[in-house]
Amino acid sequence: MKYLRQFFIIMLISLLGEALKWLIPLPIPASIYGLVLMLLALCTGVITVDKVEEASTFLIEIMPVMFIPASVGLLDSWGALKDIILPIGAIIVITTIVVMGLTGKITQGIIRMEKRKKNE
Amino acid sequence: MNNLAQESIFFGMAISLLGYEIGLIIKRKFKMAIFNPLLIAVVIVILFLAVFHVDYETYNSSAKYLSYLLTPSTVCLAVPLYQQLHLLRKNAKAVILGITSGVIISLTSVLLLSKLFGLNHQQYVTMLPKSITTAIGMGVSEEMGGIVTITVASIIITGILGNMMAELICKIFRITEPVAKGIAIGTSAHAVGTAKAIEMGEIEGAMSGLAIAVAGLLTVIMASFYANLM
């Protein structure tokens, strides 16, 4: 019954996320509201980690397979994509590398700066 | 085959999981980033559908139950984040500034490259939300008058690419701090990238999950400003 109750809590928070999305007219998905709600519930102690730990570990572990259906859907948008595939492909490759590299560099730089400040 | 697939409510999920299992086996054998289990699964499913003349709609009518789990799973990303909250507090400044500059770099690089390649306004706003999670990105693209199907396609390709290249990019840019790795991956390659960050470690996964939410929200705020620039 433990797993069922854990799954129930996760579903309940997902439902509350949907309710917020329905109430607030912004392009923010239910999942993000749900993530914030879950974090608040954990921080305030409304839910303790052991009440959701196993079920959430399982769901997070199998997350990659959840992207398969949408990715296979690229098949259907090929018609719209093929005429501008070169510029779009170039934009995707270049920005992904640049954003990941620079974001990591900047974050790491600040972390190290703070560490040095503390050591002085 | 199409008839069987149409009748079945397990076909789509079974073939997706089979593809992923094969992907895991190939990855274990060759241990190269190009053999990404997600990418292999997608290729296998597409080939299978093509060979047996099953259309995407038929496949998705039973595979959609996999996508259905995405919302509860994203909610669950709060759990590792909560467990690493002390790290977030300790590195709050780096995390916030890192994600913010990442979002600005993303939007600015799309702007510059769109100008360089001579895209029109509609194509440009279509590409603006390419680094953020699909559900937010679709909303942003729609709001600005972009072509939503192409936005979704770019977001997914970005994610798969980020997932495949994360380890290599961290090596090239010499990013070794786990917190910085996670922030970099989540900001640039949303949830699909985060799947890789989780494999890399608990801290990486938690920070990447946080970056999805923050980068998504910042993009919602900044995109309308950027949309007016071209």
**pLDDT tens figures, B127-183:** 999 999 887 888 889 888 898 888 988 998 999 999 999 999 999 999 999 999 999
Residue B18 Cα distances to A68, B146, B160, B207, angstroms: 11, 35, 19, 30
* Residue boundaries of the structural domains of chain A: 1-67, 75-120
The residue-averaged pLDDT of B76-92 equals 91
Residue B165 Cα distances to B32, B36, B71, B159, angstroms: 10, 10, 25, 10
Nearest residue of chain A to residue B47 (CA atoms):
A72
3-class state of residue A26 by DSSP: coil
Residue B32's pLDDT is what?
A: 78
Residue B222's pLDDT is what?
A: 94
Nearest residue of chain B to residue A51 (CA atoms):
B79
Q: In the numeric block, which tokens belong to residue B201?
A: 């470690």
Q: What is the pTM of this model?
A: 0.88
Between positions 63 and 102 of A, the ones with CB within 8 A of B are 63-77, 80-81, 84, 87-102
Q: What is the ipTM of this complex?
A: 0.91
- Closest residue to A90, CB basis, from B113, B161, B192: B113
**B156:A67 CB<8 A:** yes
Where are the alpha helices (H) located in A24-84, listed in sequence order? 30-44, 53-61, 68-72, 74-81
The residue-averaged pLDDT of B56-85 equals 91
Q: Percent of chain B having pLDDT more than 70? A: 100
- Most confident range, picked from B30-34, B108-112, B150-154: B108-112
Lowest mean pLDDT among A25-39, B41-55, B93-107, B183-197: A25-39
The residue-averaged pLDDT of B82-95 equals 92
Residues of chain A with pLDDT under 70: none
Residue B33 has pLDDT above 80, yes or no: no
Q: In B, which residues are within 8 Å of A6 by CB distance?
A: none
Nearest residue of chain B to residue A32 (CA atoms):
B213
Kindly report the backbone phi and psi dihedral angles of residue A117, in degrees, each rounded to the nearest multiple of 5, phi listed first: -60, -45
Residue A29's pLDDT is what?
A: 84
Question: Containing H/E element for B33?
Answer: none
Measure in Å the smallest separation between the Cα of B63 and chain A Cα atoms. Answer: 6
Q: In the numeric block, which tokens belong to residue B71?
A: 């919302």
What is the secondary structure of B41-60 as a DSSP string? HHHHHHHHHHHTT--HHHHH
d(CA B25, CA A8): 33
Between positions 55 and 84 of B, the ones with CB within 8 A of A are 56, 59-60, 63-64, 66-67, 69-83
Select from A36, A49, A94, A13 the least CA-distant residue to B212: A36
| Position B221, amino acid | I
**B127:A32 CB<8 A:** no
Establish if A42 touches chain B: CB-CB under 8 angstroms: yes
Establish if A19 touches chain B: CB-CB under 8 angstroms: no
- Greater confidence, B142 or B3? B142
Residue B108's pLDDT is what?
A: 97
